[in-house]
Chains A and B, each alone.
Chain A
């Protein structure tokens, strides 16, 4: 195999190092380091204000003004540091190297054009005449390709729109895929189908995938690794099953405990006191979670906990948390 062919068939790794992104002086993402190993699916979990969407957009180099990357880098194998790319190189990378699937509810599909027409537009923008991958991609996802290409956005169900979004992300043969809340607007059965598709496509096309979501269940079903964000920081990351079985950061624990379950004692699920911080209310010093933390110590007020062994917590690092 030639070098080019090897590059086309192996998934790239993505390394985010010490990334800080701020909106007019307020950091939405702060000192985040995350590695997406080639060929894996990583789940980024967070609530509103956690910074997860901003982090996802940074992979595309698409953080919108007034947001700016203050420091750090986002290195994608085969592309380089996305934060330092020239605008033209960035435009070419989007779609061709990095596929982004938006939330279904946001309808990144143009309501006035058919899917097929938008596909042609995409091809023109990237100087590709024949988008050969569109048909097989749609069929692989269980859709009648011809029919879908002829349809307008409002003629498709939520699940179909989500599949079309995935097709657009991958039609130019991208090997990095970012899915932003892929199943939020969908009901359970459709969600299960989409997640199955993500798993299958991931394997078939050697992708490295990042799924951004607030739903721990979604991550549990598809992702090998999980990263939990709060107030712009990653508070815990690691192997999904291990983190779910033995969460170490107090926020992760509380979050998992706050999920109502289908079996067992109903009252075992406990709510979290307080509210998640907004961009304006994220504490500037110390641990961002301390207001709601049962393990709060004095040091948490002044020193931001470093990430040790995947967990950023003073109490855990000291060995106090059992």
Chain B
């Protein structure tokens, strides 16, 4: 179980990317972070994978702080499968190097490396005979991303952090990758942290998991995916979900769907709720008082709003 307590991160002098975030990733579970660009979800994923430092709080694995080599148990799957692979190396080279390291660590013979390479490629749905001798530019985006997953698996990770892992892949191929992540949870017991602004893909990978809605470095709503989608109580979540395009003809808009509103000007920092300047339901109180994360109003999920109200904003199927 991976846990983050009060993670804060400031870039430079005053860019507050994360303002004290708590999260839990259970073993074999799925957790999704959604939010606008710049909300801090990518930073959080990178901190978890050990690629970024953090300024405050704790990162724990089964109660112990994560340090140094332990970060290897958490692997990041990048958004861009092309830049995630070295263009001058064949897929075989790309996989062999981490496997060689692994073999040394676990005391396995060289012969194990070849069979493990094939095993991993089969696991991610690729044909080793075809893929191993090729260079990244000779593979499609979907195949490249699968190679990236295979590479991440070479170190037997516990958590895969997928940051917009399918946004640069063709639509007809996305489900393949998402399905792969889902099946890895089942077969290997790997946990998946899914970071995205495409909520539906998060649901596909982790419908049985938790959804965290992040706004300006703070968690504003958190709970079971299905609950948060069907009954969001924080106005920001409702705005976010309202913005998802409706497939008119197949669906109709949710009954309480809100009109979108985007921050176009400089961001101010009110002492109270950070979302208040944009919130369609803001009260004078909201600007003054910072709302705590909790279950105010007896809601099933956690939220950070002083006046939570459930609104059904997600598109409804027509049939």
The chain A residues found within 8 Å of chain B, CB to CB, are 47-48, 142-144, 157-160, 186-193, 195-196, 214-218, 220-221, 240-245, 254-256, 258-264, 266, 269-272, 275-276
How near does chain A come to B183, taking the closest CB pair, in angstroms? 12
Ordered by A's residue number, 8 sampled pairs between the chains whose C-beta atoms are within 8 Å are A47-B171, A48-B141, A160-B264, A193-B261, A258-B171, A261-B317, A272-B173, A276-B173
Distance, CA A242 to CA B255, complexed state (A): 22
In the complex the two chains form, is B245's CB within 8 Å of A217's CB?
yes
- If the complex has contacts A215-B245, A220-B247, are A275 and B260 also in contact, measured as CB distance less than 8 A? no
Tell whether, in the assembled complex, residue B243 and residue A192 are in contact, meaning their CB atoms are under 8 Å apart: yes
Check if A258 sits within 8 Å of B36, measured CB to CB. Answer: no
Report how far A127 CA is from B200 CA in the complex, Å. Answer: 48
Contact check: which of B36, B141, B170, B244 meets A217 at CB < 8 Å? B244
Residues on the B chain within 8 Å of A144, using CB: 264-265
Q: Is the CB of A258 within 8 A of B174?
A: yes
Known: A271-B176, A276-B173. 13 other contacts (CB 8 A): A47-B170, A144-B265, A188-B198, A192-B245, A192-B260, A216-B247, A220-B246, A221-B245, A259-B171, A259-B200, A261-B203, A262-B241, A271-B179
Digit string of B237-261 for contact with A (CB within 8 Å is 1, else 0)? 0011111111111100000000011
Closest residue to B264 on the A side, CB-wise? Answer: A142
Contact A270 B248 (CB under 8 A): no
Q: Among B172, B179, B265, point to the contact of A276 (Cβ < 8 A).
A: B172
A188-B178 in contact given A220-B249, A240-B249, A260-B201 (Cβ < 8 Å): no
A188–B244 Cα distance when bound, in Å, is 6
User: Which B residues lie within 8 Å of A240 (CB)?
Assistant: 248-249
B310 sits at the interface (CB 8 A): no
CB proximity of A244 to chain B, nearest CB, Å: 3
Provided the pairs A217-B245, A260-B178 are in contact, do residues A272 and B172 lie with their beta carbons within 8 angstroms? yes
Query: Which B residue sits closest to A158, measured CB to CB?
Result: B37
Write out the residue numbers on chain A whose beta carbons fall within 8 Å of the beta carbon of B143. Answer: 275
Task: Pick from B36, B37, B265 the residue with the most CB of A within 10 Å.
Answer: B37
State in angstroms the CA–CA spacing of A260 and B200 once bound together. 6
In the assembled complex, which residues on chain A have CB atoms less than 8 Å from the CB atom of B223?
A: none
> Given A262-B314, A263-B314, A220–B245 Cβ distance below 8 Å?
yes
Q: In the complex, which residues of chain B have a beta carbon less than 8 angstroms from the beta carbon of A48?
A: 141, 170
Inter-chain contacts of B37 with A (CB < 8 A)? 158, 186-187, 190
Q: Is B262 an interface residue (CB 8 A)?
A: yes
Q: Is B245 in contact with A262, judged by CB distance below 8 angstroms?
A: no
CB distance from B243 to the nearest CB of A (A): 4
Instruction: Return chain B residues, CB-CB under 8 Å to A186.
Output: 37
